[in-house]
Structures are given as structure tokens and as C-alpha cells.
Amino acid sequence: MLRIFSLLLIFFGFTFSVNADDWRPTVKEADWVQLTSGEWLRGDIKAFYNRTLEFDSKKLNLLEIDWEDIQYLESHISSIARIENHGVATGKIQLSGDTIKIINDEQTLEFNRDELISFITGEIKESNYWSGKISLGVNVRSGNTDQKDYTAKANIKRRTSKTRLILDYAGNYSVVKSVETINNHRFNFSLDYFKTRHFFYKPIFGEYFRDPFQNLDGKLTIGSGIGYTIVDDHKTEWSISTGPAYLYTQYSSALPDESQNESNPSLSFSTDYETEYSKTLDILAKYSLQVSNKESGGLTHRAELTLENEITGSFDLDISLILDRIGSPRANSDGTLPEKNDYKIVISVGYDF
């Protein structure tokens, strides 16, 4: 009798363990995620991009989970997903192991999990596509030196399953004893259309730059090109792009025998690198090169290295080292030639949204 009882315990124990491993939650009013550790999370899936899942839990708040740490996933409402070499698909998302399913009333599509590029769940609102960061810095000195320095930076992005719009602004303004010593502004924009996960077109990109202290009353660049994403994983993103452009330059002043306006073709090249070095530190590096004739400045370089240190929540302490170089600066009307190189160290507080 004891032997039979022991066999029954072993049988039911084995059955229970199998059922526990195979258990799946009922997905009705919430989304479910199972980690590779076996733990389950209940909440709302917000989005997936750059190999990271945004998951909102009532107890744990908003989480960012690495794609490699997810074993099972199921959403209770429809999503818009972008699949490599397929395009856009709409439906409820279910991930199990290496297989991802997109289920709607008409069909069920199956793909390998590595083919998923991005998706957004829930009611699709315009605000779902936008994100950005604003940084401000102020330095005030008084006493023997009366100086005020102001810096401002803004980066705004709109991302959909196929497109990416980027808007950038950087401005610097300084006054020493009521005398303006720095006053420059730079605005960049680009529109990217992704043909595949890595290759994208740039139907249009542009830049406006103004710095009277470099004898530039205004410099406008408008172009079109192509780009390629070299690395795109849950921690690092690195892309390059290039294309021809039209360049218009308005100088603040010029020598009597030189024109104050220049219009010329140019060639632009840029690369952007961003990596999550640690949980609280991101490293960003940008470099751009513009090739034009001597009258429009020759070779123009811009390099920027930024360390973003998380203070708390959405606030960062940003430290940037910036180099601007104009290969052939234009002399002012009095013959003064601006320096080729400008160096800046900018410390600011940034807010992510």
C-alpha cells in the first residue's frame, strides 16, 4: 500500500511539474511577458524598438526589457509591427521561443523573432510616435568678471514603422560686461525612409547655421542621400549617411573684391553613434563633413562627444565636447580672418520625454 501511495505521489508530482512548465495565462484585460528566468509579468506592452521592450507594470512601473531576456509574450490588443523584408503587419502579437505570430481576424502570420524590427501597441495616437530631449545650461559670474553664458540643445524624433524624422537645435550665447562675445545657432533636420532594417533613404536633409563671429550671417544646406545602419541592437546604434547637397552661404561682411553671397554644390557625410555604457551612462558621438569649394568654406567638420549621466528619472547631466572647423574661412571687410577651429565644452541638464 505504501509503495502504491509513493508511486501515485511521483506520478502526480511529475504531472504537476509538466503542467506548471506548460502553463500559459489567459490574456483578456492585460498583456503577459515571461522572462527566460521563468518569471511572469502582467501589465501593458507599450512598444518595441531597438531590441528593447517597453512594459508598464502597476507595481514595477515602466520597464525596459532586453529582447534576449524574453521567452514568451502575448498582447491582448492589436499592434502595428514592422517586419524585415515583409513590411507592416497588424494584429495581436504572440512570441514563443524563436517564433513570433501576428494574429488578426483574417490570418496568422509567423516570423522568426529576429525579423521583428519594431511595433507599437494599443490605440495609435500621434503622440506615440514622438520622443525628445531638451537640455539647458547657464553659467553666471560676477565680481572681477561679469559674464553670463547660456546654452540650449533640443533633439526631437518622430518614429514610425518605416520612417524617422529628426529635428536638432543647438544654440550658444555669451555676454561679458554687457558685450556680446558668442552668438551662434544651428538647426538640423532629416527624414529617413527605411527600405530594410539597415538600409534607408534620405529624401531630404538640411542644416541652417549662423555665427557672426565666424563671419557667417547664415549658411543653408539642403540635400538628399542614402544611409546604412551598421549596428542596431539593444545597447548600441551606429549609422552612416551621405549625399549631394545645395549650399548657400551669406557672409556677414566681405572684402571689396569678394562676393558676400555664395551658392555652390557640396557633398555631405555624417555618422551617428550611441551606446548604453552602463545603466546610468550613455555615450553619444556625432561627426559630419561637408565638402565644397574654397569660396563656401572648403572642408567643414563638426565633431561632438556627449556623456549623458542619469540623475534621476527623466533628468540627465550632459557633458559635451564639440569641435567646429572651417577649412577656408572668409575674411571680414576689415581683413580680419576668423580662426579655423572652435572648441566648446558644454555642461547642461537635460530632460527626456
Domains plus CATH for the chain?
2-124 (2.30.30), 128-352 (2.40.160.40)
Residue 69 has pLDDT above 60, yes or no: yes
Residue 15 has pLDDT above 50, yes or no: no
Query: For residue 171, with 0-12 CB atoms within 10 Å meaning exposed, 13-18 middle and 19 or more buried, which class applies?
Result: middle
**What does the DSSP 8-state code read for residue 8?**
H
pLDDT digits (tens, 9 = 90+) for 217-232: 999 999 999 999 998 7
Q: Which of 87, 68, 71, 88 is nearest to 79 (CA)?
A: 88
**134 residue type, one letter:** I
pLDDT band at 304 (very low <50, low <70, confident <90, very high): very high
Per-residue pLDDT at 12? 45
Per-residue pLDDT at 4? 52
Residue 92: CB partners within 8 Å, gap ≥ 6?
74, 75, 76, 77, 78, 79, 102, 103, 104
Residue 21: CB partners within 8 Å, gap ≥ 6?
none
**265 residue type, one letter:** P
Query: Per-residue pLDDT averaged across 42-69, rounded?
Result: 86
Here the cell at position 67 is: 529582447
Contact 171, 152 (CB under 8 A): yes
Per-residue pLDDT at 122? 65
> What is the pTM assigned to this prediction?
0.75
Do the bridges between strand 179-194 and strand 163-176 make them parallel or antiparallel, or are there none, so unpaired?
Answer: antiparallel
pLDDT band at 155 (very low <50, low <70, confident <90, very high): very high
Of residues 185 and 140, the one with the higher pLDDT is 185
Per-residue pLDDT at 269? 97
pLDDT band at 124 (very low <50, low <70, confident <90, very high): low
Report the alpha-carbon distance of residue 192 to residue 226 in Å, rounded: 8
Contact 165, 158 (CB under 8 A): yes
Query: Per-residue pLDDT averaged across 34-41, rounded?
Result: 92
Torsion of the alpha carbons at 32, 75, 117 and 126, rounded to the nearest 10: -120
Per-residue pLDDT at 85? 73
Report the alpha-carbon distance of residue 31 to residue 57 in Å, rounded: 10
Beta bridge partners of 196: none
Cα 302 from chain centroid (whole Å): 19
Cα 146 from chain centroid (whole Å): 38
Contact 50, 65 (CB under 8 A): no
Query: Per-residue pLDDT averaged across 175-185, rounded?
Result: 91
Query: Per-residue pLDDT averaged across 298-305, rounded?
Result: 96
Here the cell at position 44 is: 501593458
Contact 58, 72 (CB under 8 A): no
Work out the widest C-alpha separation in the chain, in whole angstroms.
Answer: 114
Q: Which of 56, 52, 114, 47 is nearest to 81 (CA)?
A: 47
Report the alpha-carbon distance of residue 261 to residue 165 in Å, rounded: 30
Dihedral of alpha carbons 257, 207, 298, 203, sign: negative
Residue 148 has pLDDT above 80, yes or no: yes
Residue 11 has pLDDT above 50, yes or no: no
Distances (CA, A) of 295 to 135, 149, 252: 35, 32, 14
Query: Per-residue pLDDT averaged across 65-83, rounded?
Result: 88
pLDDT band at 76 (very low <50, low <70, confident <90, very high): confident
